[in-house]
Structure 1
Amino acid sequence: MLSWILALLLALIAWFLATAYFWLIKRKRKETQLGLNALAGMHWREFSLIVRRAMHEQRGLQDVPDEAVDSRQPRSDFLMHDGPQRWLLSCKHGRAYRIGTAAVNELGAAARLAGARGGILITEGKVERDGRIAAEKQNVEVLDGPLLWPLLQPYLPGDMESRVQAGARREAIRRISIAALGAATLGLMVGLGSLTAGLERQWADDESATTEPAAMTPATTAPAPADTAPTAAPAPPGAAHEGRPGPGTDAPAAAMDANPDNATLDRYQHELSRNVATRPGVASGIWLTRQTLAINRTGEIDAIWPLICEEVTRYPALRTVRIQLNPRPGVDEPVRWRQCTTL
């Protein structure tokens, strides 16, 4: 359960970060891109009008009297003033412009010839790095791409601004939705990975608990030869019972507790493993778990099984334990599991 909670938190954090990035950063970039495309799609005369209006309202620049009357010929340069100083405004209309040193130097020279203090270069395109270095030397202010859109955005005609913002919002919402699916997939993968890792650890622990004690049993029985003395001279059942040590082994089954405490149950298990080892064809009995008794045998299963069950059923608390019958030494046999009685 904890792994799924952590996976959910991870998915929510990933989705939150993606949402913040797409809405606060990518949406602004997309809006600038769509806005510049909208500006580039305007007629050159409309573009020059909103540029001059923005310069007038935000910079306080006025058209020089000789330049105030619009010519019928396309014009991209306008001479404006803020009182005693003049500025040459140059509009490079279009997104395809990549302006370098030559165009900037040309604008600077034209500004000096017109008696202007400097120039203002405006374009929806881009001024290259060398052009910006030249602009600092020529006293030319550069307003391109990302700098131009915030300046002209309030002056767009009609519903052009709302269309641009709506397009940017739709693109941001689309990307946020994709990010939500990706975050959900990430959380599901992390949750399933944690669950799988937990199951693998549990299986590994169960395997080690079963296989390690079974691997130790051959070392216990190694000193005994393949043909032990009990198989060569089987003793009568009465004699076998007489040879068993411990007073507890002679107690009747009815006198034994079916639900003993841990100490009594340990004693029962010790007695049972000791008594089983005295039976013909049984080399030893080792408890792997509370419910599993491993029998290392030298005789056939059919011959020793009634003898084993005779000892097991004498203990009501142990009559349903699982008996693991290991292969005989040197014989290619599988491990067998049986129960003397069931619930």
Structure 2
Amino acid sequence: MPILIALIAFVLSGLGLTTWLRRNRAARPVPAPTERSADQLSKLRWRDFAKLVLQVMHARGYRVANEEGLPADGIPTDGSDIVLERDGVRTLLSCKYGSAAVVGAQALLGLAKSATLRGTGEVIVVTPGRFDEEAARIARQQNIELIDGQSLWPEVRPYVTTQAVPAEAPASNAAAPKMLGLAWGGAAVIGGLAWMLAQGLQTAPEEAAPQPAPAQAVATVAQAAPQAAPVSVVPTDPAALEARRREAANAITTLFGVDRALWSTQSTLLVYLSAEDADPTTDLCPLLERYPELAASRVQLQPPAGSRKPVRFKQCRTY
């Protein structure tokens, strides 16, 4: 009898919570495309953001310079800066895209020298966020054009409306299985509590009958609850592993103080610093540790060209 009561309570509460969740999601308004703003740019991946910036540059008359090893879309796979051409003048385009909303002066250090080395006479720096006052001062001194999210949005908006931009509706759909899992997990807890209550009421008149052990009740709830999916599963497909490595390097390239990042070997990440005093390890390690197979990789911190500081090595996590 207690098991039957617990089963009924589990099914009824699960169905009730599921119905409530579906009605709540159906009543939630979905943002229209006209509600998109410059804030949507910060939700894009670095490569998608760079594609939008290139479309804006193409509208301005720029074209990607033909360089060896450059992909067909003109975006370097290592996240480095892009060389553009217009009317015979070469321009260095740098997309400073990261988790920070404000780009400081440190992100601009070394750009003028990099532009000289790559044979460009102008520099354009684009970010979905904004630049602080010190960055604006350095840009004026070095004749660097800065384009923040608010300035970029009017030019990029025609391309955003025709492309897939992260919105709330897909995110809500992606969260639906998790919410249903929580609903039925809660139903399992309710069923377990109903079983414990029914068991206690049944054995209350029988003084000699032992009380149900708490461990037994917990085991019953655990059996009824849905199993959670494993976290941070490492793929076995080599192509998927390589894609994760590229994704980690691209994310690290966007950090302040980092000029570019690339894998010199399968276990060594080469990080080129944009300034001698730059130390991105605090933000770098969490990006590597998101991937279990990369968490123990060797990080080689390479100082800028001409620096007298030695090469440093870092390992975020030991094997």
TM-score range, shorter chain: 0.3 to 0.5
Q: Normalising by the residue count of structure 1, what TM-score does the alignment of the two structures yield?
A: 0.35
Q: Normalising by the residue count of structure 2, what TM-score does the alignment of the two structures yield?
A: 0.37
Bigger Rg, structure 1 or 2: 1
Greater helix content:
1
Structure possessing the higher relative contact order (Cα contacts under 8 Å, 6 or more residues apart): 2
